[in-house]
Every structure is written in structure tokens, then in C-alpha cells.
Amino acid sequence: MSRTIISCAVTGNITTVAQHPGLPCTPEQIANACIDAARAGAAIVHIHVRYPDGRPSMELAHYREVVERLRASEVDVVINLTTGPGQRFVPSEHDPKIAAPGTTLMPPEPRVEHVVALRPEMASLDLNTMFSGTSVVINTPRNVRIMAGMIREAGTLPELEVFDSGDIHLARDLLADGTLASPALFQIVLGTKYGADAAPATMAYLKSLLPADAHWASFGIGRWCYPMLAQSFLLGGHVRVGLEDTIYIDRGVLAPSNAALVEKAVSIVKLIGGTPASAGEAREILGLRRQLPRAA
């Protein structure tokens, strides 16, 4: 590739403040982390929001403040908002069909209301249904279709997050029936427990299932972050880092910041012969047009 897009997932909804005291939580902290990551070399920032105490949030006001701060800044970066929250079901021990505390499963429409309102250039769209931690992540084809349609109507590019081969087969069906437009952008997630293994052979296999015209990136969770970053580049994919994916910059050493993780990613890409893409180059590669809110 002529340019490699580096994305930074600055906070996620799984990493905790107890794990990393510097995890950005307030909208101001998240926006500043995105700005610093962009200055370090990230072309795209992938954004979850939090309550100030660190709990995951789905509040439109939190997303709006982050996005407005980024759009008002002098830093050019592609904004990628998550639609992941709202997909978890925790079965009760006494009756597994009854939801236990911790369940966030909801209809598809509320999961994308912030995308409709804020019209970011990109939004993630999870295609996985799998066991995750103590819960089941559920993304039915019906719900994915509804979310995909709303994302598309907003003029936003869906980033298709795939955790195993079946997710790619679902994506291909959605492309075949016109729910998703080509060329699609895939994000291959490796190293989650009970998901696809973080190994070169796994990445190569999953890449082989993608449509020929697809754009794609991949990342590894935890200690697999940097090996999978290099492997993704070697197979022609784009890359991702950030405190959502790993809290360490070296074995046993907490990352000082998201920007430090991006700096390491830039170094790895350059050392193995690549050139990181700017935000403008990322837009050109992915066919993005910078989005602004509709007039009130």
C-alpha cells in the first residue's frame, strides 16, 4: 500500500480506570486524547464515551460534546463513533431467558441515534454474536440491517467489525442484497476470548474471505496488539491501537497515553517500510467526504 491508515481507539467500554488511571473518561478528556492521538499520527479516532466516573455511557450529550470539541479544534482527524453499546445480554442463573443485571441489550434504533444526530464520517457496526466475558453479545441480522440503513442514511461509512469468519459471511450477504454499499471497510478483531485467534494464519484466512474490493484493517487485543499490527501491515491492511485494545506500551509498562501508543504504531509501520496516512489521505483511500451536521 502507498499509505497505511492508523486508527486510535481511545477509551472503549471495557477498559477500566482501575486498570489504567489515565483512561480518558470525561468528554473533554476523550476529545483531548483524540487530538493528541491525531497529532501523534492517527488518521482516525474511534470513540466511545463515558460518564465522568468511568462507567460506559450512551448519552447523546456526551457524544455531542466530544464531536463538537474535535470539529472546533485545529487538528484534522476522521471521527469514527461506536455503535457497540446496547448489545449485551447477561442470562440470569435461575432462568437464563431472564436478563440479569449488566444487560444492556436494546432495540437497534437507540444504538445509532448519535450517528443520526451528529453525522460522523465513520461509525463502527458490529456483526458478531458471541459469548464475551460474562455476557452474550447479540447482533441479529435484522438489527444489523436496521442499523446499517440508518448509518447509511446519515451519510456515514460503516466500519464492519468482524470477530470470526461467520461475521464476514453475514457482511457478504448484506453487500449482496444492497444493505451495505461496496467497497466495504472491514475491521478484523483478533485475540478476544472465544473469538478469532490472534495468529498470522487466522488473519490471513479471514482476509481471504473478504470481498476483493474491500478495504480492511486489523488489530489484536492485549499483548497481541503489536504483533498483529505488524502482521496487518504485511498482509496489506490498515492498523489500530489505543487504550481500548491494550493498556501497555511494553511488557508490564502502562502506556503513558493514547498518543504514546500511536507513536509506537507509527514507528513500527515506518520500520517495516510503510508510510502512515494523514486524515486527508485516509478520506481519499476510503472514499470519505467530511461530514458536518445538518442545519437545524
Q: Residue 49 sits in a domain of what CATH number?
A: 3.20.20.70
- Residue corresponding to grid cell 435484522: 142
Phi, psi at 188, each rounded to 5°: -85, 120
Name 20's Cβ contacts closer than 8 Å, sequence gap at least 6: 243, 247, 254, 255
The pLDDT value recorded for residue 296 is 42
Which of 138, 218, 137, 213 has the alpha carbon at shortest distance from 180?
213
Phi, psi at 198, each rounded to 5°: -85, 90
Which of 78, 18, 6 has the alpha carbon at shortest distance from 240?
6
The Cα–Cα gap between 84 and 127 comes to 10
Q: Which triple of cell numbers denotes residue 256?
A: 503513558
The pLDDT value recorded for residue 295 is 44
Q: Is 1 within the bounds of a domain?
A: no
**Is 42:6 a contact under the CB 8 Å cutoff?**
yes
The Cα–Cα gap between 152 and 146 comes to 10
Q: Is 110 within the bounds of a domain?
A: yes
Q: Which triple of cell numbers denotes residue 11?
A: 477509551
The pLDDT value recorded for residue 289 is 77
Name 278's Cβ contacts closer than 8 Å, sequence gap at least 6: 3, 43, 76
Q: Is 13 within the bounds of a domain?
A: yes
pTM of the model: 0.96
Q: Is 295 within the bounds of a domain?
A: no
The Cα–Cα gap between 296 and 294 comes to 6
Which of 80, 75, 100 has the alpha carbon at shortest distance from 89?
100
The Cα–Cα gap between 120 and 77 comes to 11
Phi, psi at 168, each rounded to 5°: -70, -40
Phi, psi at 111, each rounded to 5°: -70, -15
The pLDDT value recorded for residue 22 is 96
Residue 148 three-state SS: helix
Write out the residue range of the structural domain in which residue 197 sits: 6-286
- Please tell me the total count of domains within the chain: 1
The Cα–Cα gap between 198 and 182 comes to 27
**Is 98:56 a contact under the CB 8 Å cutoff?**
no
Question: What are the 10-residue block averages of pLDDT along the chain, 296 residues in total?
Answer: 93 96 98 98 98 96 98 97 97 96 97 98 98 94 98 97 98 98 98 96 98 98 97 98 98 97 98 97 92 52
The pLDDT value recorded for residue 291 is 60
Q: Is 294 within the bounds of a domain?
A: no
Q: Is 99 within the bounds of a domain?
A: yes
Q: How many CB atoms lie within 10 A of CB 38?
A: 25
Q: Is 210 within the bounds of a domain?
A: yes
Residue 163 three-state SS: coil
Q: Is 234 within the bounds of a domain?
A: yes
